[in-house]
Amino acid sequence: MSVELSQAARGPQKVFTPAEIAALPIDHRIDGIPNQRRHRNANRPVWEESPSTWGMIGKFLILTVVVGLVAIPMWGIVVTSLSDAKTVQEAGGLVLFPKGITFASYAQLLSGGVVAQAAWVSVIVTVTGTVIATVVSALAAYGLSKPGTALHRPILFLFIITMFFSAGLIPTYLWISSLGLRNSLWALILPTCISAFNLLIMRNFFMGIDTGIIEAARIDGASEWKILFSIVMPMSKAVTAVIALFYGVGFWNAFFNAVLYIDDSSKWPLQMVLRQYVLQGQSIPGVDFTVAQGQLNSVSIKMAIMVLAVLPILIVYPFVQKHFTKGVIFGAIKG
């Protein structure tokens, strides 16, 4: 919007050095002059009135509560998992103010035993599954991204149908059992490896790529494989990252397939362990409280398992989060 603000509306001018101007965010630089009024309300259109005091207070309260409902439990879990027995006891179970920080719970859990084993299983399933799922989806998405190619419609249809109708729990269970996948980690990977929804998001993104570049490469003699790996994939990092996150989260959180197919507790993923020892409160074999007594509290151990069950997501999330809108909405809205 190119509305000229009068000098009075801009407020008193301060002289800025070029270095200071360069350091300012781009929307605060108008014709090279940082503007103090715009600095305060950088995004407000000129015609919009300022919110009322009560409106601002109301919004502030709602947002604080909403953010607090998510942030406070997460904070409490992390801090409690890092607290020693004395602090946990004094706080009555949940520690919100860090004191007596110790990594003893994690050391105890990861020194071997059920939880370490389960974490390892989860990592293997997640990494293998995510790599296979993302590669297979990207290939199929590119293969289906040129309308008019042979068999394009029937193959696409084959995927779309799975979004509306599934075989059902019992037939799938019987079939996967008869394939001999019971107590195999492949039972956690293969059945959920392809999501038609993710595939279509990638396909939509690929279809939106400027065909000129692809045509040019084709004229230069590049094969479709070369085009996919050297041109299309590098241009699609955002959407690939988001899709990989979706698949990865799915594999990491896989719980029900483990209930169905994994009887052998040494092959349990972390979510099963979380349910067994934290939600249902069974005692954890391998965690010896008599040794740890005085140093650790069972609440800390439980909270530490909860942190482990969410840790990879917390680590990857900040890097992928900024692509959500760009990557997903683009695909979803066009689709």
Partner 1 sequence: MTTTHHEPYAGDIPVRRMTLWQKIVRDRTFIIMTIPAVVLIIVFNYIPMIGNIGAFQDYNPYGGITGSPWVGLENFLDVLTSASFANALKNTLLITTFSLLFYFPVPIFLAVLMNSILSTKVRTVVQSVIYLPHFFSWVLVITIFQQFVGGASPLSQWMIRNGDAPLQIMTNPDTFIALVTTQAIWKDAGWGMIIFLAALSTVNPSLYEAAVVDGAGKMRRLWHITLPALRPVIVLLLILRLGDALNVGFEQMYLQRDAVGSGASDVLDTFVYFEGIQYSKWGFALAAGLMKGIVALLLVLGANKLAHRMGEAGVYQKAG
CA atoms of 329 and 335, how far apart (whole Å) = 9
Among residues 21 and 169, whose Cβ is nearest to partner 1? Answer: 169
Residue 319 interacts with partner 1 (CB under 8 A): yes or no = no
CA atoms of 208 and 97, how far apart (whole Å) = 49
Residue 167 interacts with partner 1 (CB under 8 A): yes or no = yes
| Candidates 30-38, 106-114, 158-166, 206-214; binding stretch for partner 1 (CB under 8 A) | 158-166
CA atoms of 61 and 64, how far apart (whole Å) = 5
CA torsion sign for 152, 158, 242, 66 is positive
CB of 132 to partner 1, least distance (A): 9
Residue 9 interacts with partner 1 (CB under 8 A): yes or no = no
Determine the distance from the C-alpha atom of residue 65 to the mean position of all C-alpha atoms in its chain, rounded to a whole number: 23
CA atoms of 335 and 333, how far apart (whole Å) = 5
What is the total count of residues that contact partner 1 (CB under 8 A)?
Answer: 97
Residue among 49, 210, 220, 264 that touches partner 1 (CB under 8 A): 49
CB of 320 to partner 1, least distance (A): 10
Please name the residue that has the structure tokens 């065909």: 211
CB proximity list for 260: less than 8 A, separation 6 or greater = 173, 176, 187
- Write the interaction track for partner 1 spanning residues 88-127; mark x where CB under 8 A is met and - where it is not: ---xxxx---------------------------------
Residue 131 interacts with partner 1 (CB under 8 A): yes or no = no
CA atoms of 146 and 209, how far apart (whole Å) = 11
| Candidates 44-52, 100-108, 211-219, 230-238; binding stretch for partner 1 (CB under 8 A) | 44-52
Residue 159 interacts with partner 1 (CB under 8 A): yes or no = yes
CB proximity list for 7: less than 8 A, separation 6 or greater = 13
CB of 15 to partner 1, least distance (A): 27
CB of 278 to partner 1, least distance (A): 5
| Candidates 16-24, 103-111, 165-173, 287-295; binding stretch for partner 1 (CB under 8 A) | 165-173
Please give the span between the terminal C-alpha atoms of the chain, in angstroms, as a whole number. Answer: 31
